[in-house]
Structure 1
Amino acid sequence: MSDLVEYEQGSRFPGRIGRTADDSSPAWPAPVRAPDGAPNVLFFVLDDVGYGQLSCFGGLVSTPNIDRVAASGLRYANMHTTALCSPTRSSILTGRNHHSNGVACIMELATGYPGYDGRMPFENGMLSEMLVEYGYNTFCLGKWHLSPSEDNTPAGPFHRWPLGRGFERFYGFLGGETNQWYPDLTQDNGSVTQPRQPEDGYHLSEDLADQAIKLMLDAHVNAPEKPFFMYYATGAAHAPHHVPKEWADRYAGAFDMGWDAYRETVFENQKQIGLFAADSELSPRDPDVPEWTSLSADERRLYARMMEVYAGFLSHADHHFGRILDTLERIGELDNTIIMIVSDNGASAEGGPTGSFNEMLFFNMVPESFEDNLAKIDDLGGTRAYNHYPWGWTWAGNTPFRRWKRETYRGGSTDPFVLAWPAGMTARGEIRTQYAHVIDMVPTVLEAIGADAPATIGGVTQSPVEGVSFAHTFDAADAPTKHTTQYFEMFGHRSIYHDGWRAVCPWPGPSFTEAARHGRKMGDAITPEVLDQLDRDGWELYHIAEDPTEATDVAAEFPERLRELIATWWAEAEKYKVLPLDGSLQPRLAAERPQTSKPRTRYVYYPNGAVVPAFAAPPVFNRPYSIEADVEIPDGGAQGVLVAQGGDAGGYSFYLEGGRLHYAYNYVGRDQFTLHSGDVVPKGRHTLRYEFEPTGQPDFKNGKGVPGRGQLYVDSQLVANVEFPHTAPLIFELEGLSCGYDFGAPAADGYEPPFEFTGILHSVTFDVTGELIKDDEAELARIMAQQ
């Protein structure tokens, strides 16, 4: 037995202090330790995965490792999310509703109201903040998307990054999506480069699993009894759908039957599993989705391949998740780990009706050519693609429900949920039908480990947790539902659940087709007059207890019940900061938000620093600008990148190769415009400059930014000149800016990254004082597609 004396920090010192150490006795403040046998907690958050896609939910995408967890525990058939990524993730981690967290929508569209400002209040503590004070290690891997986008630069502030919210370690990306082959990576509070290149086998899903395993093992070998909480939020299966070709090829021919037949097959599977009763109906055909048989043979071939790539992407992520499970098993921790697996919303329709080989075309409003996409069918999922499937597969992926992500029908807000804790429950492979919402995950974990939600965190008095535990259902299939009422709101699209009934007020309409008949579209403002009209006759009613797929609107049969539910929605909206109701999009985009630094027109960068996130890079679109590098060329010359941003799907690079100065501009992966000096840049110190001057107006509706004239200068002497017929109107590929090397995929064809500059690069300066030509509508479309 140890003679060590410990005492609770803040309490009276129990030792004795004499005049010398010889006549004194020591005691130590006790470290925070979790109770003996406390379970680990692992949240696996999938991205844009629909209810009818995972194989353990009847889907046709093979996910054997998620199935393995389901077989050792439970599938919850009635779990709900907010229908969008950032809002759902905020609720998963805090146990509070998304408006209570200030996360009404994505962080990039925050507005100045408490439910909408994107500044998650510290009185809404995260599970990481709770458990780290309970003696847990806390790890965050993958997608964050929970800090204001204005703060996501190497300048911070960092208090809403993962390490500021109770996580001890972070490895992943801060925004809503990233290139899976060339991700914008952050480790803890700093930018890092990926450990190897795609040609050497790199993919983000594997990297995240590698890091997760390392963090678990590092902690375990040093403190085997110490439990951990891991938030593992893979980028899969959000676009771009990137995956090694052999994984997509495993599904060759698997989706040739098309999305209509997929729905029928999956719904039958779901009935066989017991997710739905045998007499349940499939929700009606969506008027926005064409019948598979109406498509040409080439359309069917391309769209089937797009789904094969998506399926391979999801299976590949599942495979690497399996490595985490295997590691837990190897160290004897699998049975005593509470595993919760959930998607953040329903499947995504952001690929549009025809899908895309390169989403950067969609983001820039560039019309896509079916013939061009078909010609690149073999490159889908690869390093030169930035692909997404058509929304017919979205609709099918949410089988058996209506609609999809961003809408509060069940297709957007009812998602697969798997839970296992073999050491803490006897149920194996069973289904639970109790109503639940992701705000219930935190209180369920707290009850399972025997902890209370803290009264204060870091000196901040905590708000009440708004979810309710469903731990009572672990071994009781017939236990009553404790979560009886839940509101939903997303971009003005509203719904409410109460005691087996569900009312929905779709905005701008039940489908895009039906909305257009009324002269409405997504993003239209909801005026007081429109709101009054919607509350009079815009609501639908479904008896979910008998009609779980929202197949039959019974509003006309039960008008009084509908009125009660509408009144309940308004009461919940007042309670949880949902007001003011806002269906608009452009005003949210244009809203002025607090900035860490003042607006500027001059940006100075130094070599080999952190990657600058794409949204924080100098705004060079549709305006005059210049890039000036201060360099020294040694004996024998120099080569390498001075500054670069973007990659294969769009960007630019300013570099020396063969001793000559080059500038390459990649227009959305289609056109590459290049300039180069005729002579070698001689030894010595030089000013190397690129200038762009617009020569006309942009054509935003056709995806073309301003035409212009590019010029290269060496020490103020013009050495190259070229006319650009058009430029990217809004965005390059989502790779950040790097100085002194090229991070990620190359925007230019003339070199292989990182192609570090071999001379001395003192600085690179951007000047963007020229007048900007804007199109808020086009910028909005870009942001909305990157959720």
Structure 2
Amino acid sequence: MTDTAFQGRIGRTAAESEPWWPPEPRPASGAPNVVVVVFDDVGFAQWGCYGSTLATPRIDALAAAGLRFTNFHTTALCSPTRACMLTGRNHHAVGMRAISNFDTGFPNMRGAIPKSAATLAEVLRAQGYGTFMVGKWHLAPMHEAGPAGPFRNWPLGRGFDRFYGFLQGETDQFRPELVQDNHYVDAPARAEDGYHLTEDLIDRAIAYASDHVSAAPDRPFFTYLAFGACHAPHQAPDDYLARWRGKFDAGWDVMREHWFERQKAMGVVPADTVLPPPNPGVPAWSELTDNERRFAARLMEAFAAFLEHTDEHLGRYVDALREMGQLDNTLLVVMSDNGASQEGGRTGILDEMMYFNGMKQDVDQAVERLDLIGTADSHTNYPWGWAMCGNTPLKRYKQNTHAGGVRDPFVVHWPARVKDAGGIRRQFHHVVDIAPTVLEILGIEAPAEVDGVPQQPMHGTSMAYALADGAAGVPTRKGTQYFEMFGHRGLWHDGWKAVCFHALGADYDSETWELYHADADASESNDLAAAHPERLRALIALWWEEAARHGVLPLDDRRGAELFRSAQARGGSTARRDRWVLYPPVSRYNADVAPSTGARPFVLTADIELGAGRNGALVARGSSNGGFALYVRERRLVFDYNHFHAHTSVASDVELPSGPCTVGLRMAREGKSGTATLLLDGAEIGSVTIPAMAAMVSSTGMDVGRSTAPVCHDYAPPFEFEGRIRRVVFDIAPRTPKTERREALGTERRV
């Protein structure tokens, strides 16, 4: 039986019958391609066309031929912003209060978009568009991100025909954890051979477009291209890193002033805009030690190199569209998902996992490894001062509802429609407005039902009017937009903004709100709360109304063990498993679905037969920045523990037999240290004390029978095991309140 009822006529013979074919979905003649490009953790000022001195000539060229929106807003965090962009609904209403790693048991935080909120891909595919997703997804619950899925919340389950990228919030740019469609794949080349993820993503985006245009030239396509850049780790090829040596030695105070003056000269902010004082906790550059300045400057160099490299390869994609004759009729949007990141802390950090483990960066030690910054052997994030500079002239950062967290660069390029080349648009808009804009441009009504599921109404307001010539001075059609992230709250209404910075655990009703006339105060510098108390009270009351209307409640600022227990409570969570039995060959397990061994004792055993082989990895978790590996080197069992480049290793005192045997590792924990014991058929064959161990060992996952991201330099990837592995077993000690607190630390910092 077919899905559509037959509308012809059936007789006894074909001659007596009338055939009928169901109509195929076909976009309107001349319908444009739609490409949405999302950068990660790029602040308001960091593209050259928004005031910085960073090298983004290809984005600047798109802005010069298109439009810059200077009053565009996001949610302050990655997964929520992406959910809003794809659905046209506010993030709480689609279960994405924060990052998709968590399901707290409330409708506002499920970590997955419900079927009542169809994505742009689902809507456009039903209209005949080809749909492609390339890059960062981070819209599936992480317990569903293993090789067995379930795949319902992966890109192909949410309307995309093809997917190539990564599922989690970040990945190593030189050794990424890649997924193609619904299965994990290896990168097509090695870091040692010049591989970088950004280049690979662009290659794939071009291939999807060229395949589609060649095979179906009469059908437009929708591409969602989401870079890992410029989220940590900040990693770029060596020649890009070298270009920025010494360029930030003057420090963030000087750079911030310089960028601010450029913004005023460009018209990115009004000439009378005030530059606020530095954010709380940000020291003056002159107050830093020499080593702190050297470290901070080098971290910013890595960010600049990462951004320049990405911009250049985005340009390669634009060039490919032009060569295919597609660029003129492509609605191309380039944006960032939130403000610049505060996760590097006061000093910046050589490895972001140190931040997630609550460890402070020893800058005097870090400067001894300056040359690692930006390479495959680093996982860096810059300090608050550079993030503040990146958000110039706005207050605070990613995660906050002040403008530094939620006001972001937004460029629209569409030669066939946008004629006000280089124009600036100051209308207030929000990421939730993108989907309604696309649908209006395409002449598509938001469907009331998709696949039999009634749809939530869209919450956004179309921006299509602002693309027209002469629209620069037209008032915004947006009336109200709420903000909420981790208890930080805000509300924009008719040109005014009320905003509240939430202190963890503080009483929501007694916290201080600020009031800004946003239309006249671009940097939120003049707090008018005392001058207009009635207006502020009205906006706060309206915030609560909007919160109730859009599923924001309950407000939830839980951290630590309480949040950890809530997030792991659902039955499908892999973190609750204490025993794992793996039968190689198995796909790579990313960090969110790999056995959770970080804070607990465990025993790892592998039934192997080495035969004539001499080398190879048995189990490897992490990368050269941190992790552990159990492997065979010249027929001896070896264990290496990498605690942020501090290695502790032990090799067996006997060779392994050629025939079947069971090798293993027993890991005992004593506080933050431990003892690793090598085993052969149950007998101890080596032991070592590990002076420091991490609860959150790495954001890079686990290989069995190989090591695609080397934990140590004793071997080169992929270091495939030369014998046979019959099975691998993890037996992990049950959680205790103490180990739960340690695991919760990483969870808390990760949100």
> TM-score band, normalised by the shorter chain?
over 0.9
Q: State the AA in 1 paired with 2:726.
A: H
Secondary structure, in 3 states, of the residue corresponding to 2:661?
Answer: strand
Paired position in structure 1 for 2:606: 629
The CA distance in 2 between the partners of 1:306 and 1:722, in whole Å, is 34
Normalised to the residue count of structure 1, the TM-score between the two structures is 0.92
The CA distance in 2 between the partners of 1:387 and 1:597, in whole Å, is 29
Among 731, 735, 738, the alignment partner of 2:696 is 731
Between 1:22-31 and 1:258-267, the stretch displaced more is 22-31
Q: Is the 8 A contact 1:128 1:138 kept in 2?
A: yes
User: Which ranges in structure 1 are unaligned for 5 or more consecutive residues?
Assistant: 1-7, 509-523, 699-704
Paired position in structure 2 for 1:123: 116
The CA distance in 1 between the partners of 2:734 and 2:107, in whole Å, is 36
Paired position in structure 2 for 1:488: 483
Say yes or no: does 1:593 pair with 2:559: no
Paired position in structure 2 for 1:701: none
Secondary structure, in 3 states, of the residue corresponding to 1:181?
Answer: coil
Aligned runs of 1:481-630 on 2, under 5 Å?
A: 481-508=476-503, 524-526=504-506, 530-534=507-511, 538-586=512-560, 587-591=562-566, 592-596=568-572, 599-630=576-607
Q: What is the CA distance between 1:690 and its match in structure 2?
A: 1.6
Alpha-carbon deviations, 1:557-593, whole Å to 9, x = none? 1111111111111111111111122233233232143
The CA distance in 1 between the partners of 2:613 and 2:250, in whole Å, is 59
The CA distance in 1 between the partners of 2:246 and 2:687, in whole Å, is 50
Alpha-carbon deviations, 1:221-273, whole Å to 9, x = none? 11112111111110000001011121122222322221111121111111111
Among 629, 641, 644, the alignment partner of 1:668 is 644
Between 1:647-656 and 1:203-212, the stretch displaced more is 647-656
Alpha-carbon deviations, 1:119-159, whole Å to 9, x = none? 32111111111000010011111111111122111222211
Among 149, 164, 168, the alignment partner of 2:157 is 164
Say yes or no: does 1:380 pair with 2:345: no
Aligned runs of 1:702-781 on 2, under 5 Å?
A: 705-708=672-675, 710-728=676-694, 730-744=695-709, 746-769=710-733, 772=736, 774=738, 779-781=743-745
Say yes or no: does 1:10 pair with 2:4: yes
Secondary structure, in 3 states, of the residue corresponding to 2:722?
Answer: coil
The CA distance in 1 between the partners of 2:705 and 2:33, in whole Å, is 43
Q: State the AA in 1 paired with 2:548.
A: E
The CA distance in 2 between the partners of 1:726 and 1:274, in whole Å, is 52
Paired position in structure 2 for 1:513: none
Between 1:151-160 and 1:401-410, the stretch displaced more is 151-160
Q: Is the 8 A contact 1:123 1:462 kept in 2?
A: yes
User: Which ranges in structure 2 are unaligned for 5 or more consecutive residues?
Assistant: none
Distance 1:718 1:81, change over 3 A: same
Secondary structure, in 3 states, of the residue corresponding to 1:712?
Answer: strand
Normalised to the residue count of structure 2, the TM-score between the two structures is 0.96
Q: What is the CA distance between 1:17 and its match in structure 2?
A: 4.4
Q: Is the 8 A contact 1:525 1:582 kept in 2?
A: no
Q: What is the CA distance between 1:769 and its match in structure 2?
A: 3.5
Distance 1:624 1:583, change over 3 A: closer
Paired position in structure 2 for 1:643: 619
Paired position in structure 2 for 1:429: 422
Q: Is the 8 A contact 1:606 1:740 kept in 2?
A: no
The CA distance in 2 between the partners of 1:167 and 1:496, in whole Å, is 33
The CA distance in 1 between the partners of 2:745 and 2:405, in whole Å, is 19
Aligned runs of 1:445-456 on 2, under 5 Å?
A: 445-456=438-449
The CA distance in 2 between the partners of 1:433 and 1:460, in whole Å, is 37
Q: What is the CA distance between 1:785 and its match in structure 2?
A: 4.7
Count, aligned residues? 745
Q: Is the 8 A contact 2:598 2:743 kept in 1?
A: no
Paired position in structure 2 for 1:518: none
Paired position in structure 2 for 1:689: 664
Q: Is the 8 A contact 1:622 1:773 kept in 2?
A: no
The CA distance in 2 between the partners of 1:533 and 1:731, in whole Å, is 35
Q: What is the CA distance between 1:23 and its match in structure 2?
A: 5.8
Q: What is the CA distance between 1:778 and its match in structure 2?
A: 5.0
Q: What is the CA distance between 1:747 and its match in structure 2?
A: 1.2
The CA distance in 2 between the partners of 1:776 and 1:469, in whole Å, is 46
Aligned runs of 1:250-261 on 2, under 5 Å?
A: 250-261=243-254
Secondary structure, in 3 states, of the residue corresponding to 1:533?
Answer: coil
The CA distance in 2 between the partners of 1:777 and 1:264, in whole Å, is 43
Q: Is the 8 A contact 1:624 1:771 kept in 2?
A: no
Q: State the AA in 2 paired with 1:179.
A: D
Q: State the AA in 1 paired with 2:484.
A: E
Paired position in structure 2 for 1:478: 473
Q: What is the CA distance between 1:784 and its match in structure 2?
A: 5.1
The CA distance in 2 between the partners of 1:637 and 1:772, in whole Å, is 41
The CA distance in 2 between the partners of 1:644 and 1:191, in whole Å, is 17
Distance 1:781 1:61, change over 3 A: farther
Distance 1:780 1:54, change over 3 A: farther
Alpha-carbon deviations, 1:17-71, whole Å to 9, x = none? 4544466564433322222211110110110000011001111211111112111
Between 1:220-229 and 1:365-374, the stretch displaced more is 365-374
Q: State the AA in 2 paired with 1:623.
A: R
Q: What is the CA distance between 1:749 and its match in structure 2?
A: 2.8
Say yes or no: does 1:263 pair with 2:256: yes
Secondary structure, in 3 states, of the residue corresponding to 2:499?
Answer: strand
Say yes or no: does 1:394 pair with 2:387: yes
Q: What is the CA distance between 1:361 and its match in structure 2?
A: 2.0
Q: Is the 8 A contact 2:145 2:592 kept in 1?
A: no
Between 1:719-728 and 1:158-167, the stretch displaced more is 719-728
Q: What is the CA distance between 1:197 and its match in structure 2?
A: 0.7
Say yes or no: does 1:51 pair with 2:44: yes
Paired position in structure 1 for 2:653: 678
Secondary structure, in 3 states, of the residue corresponding to 1:131?
Answer: helix
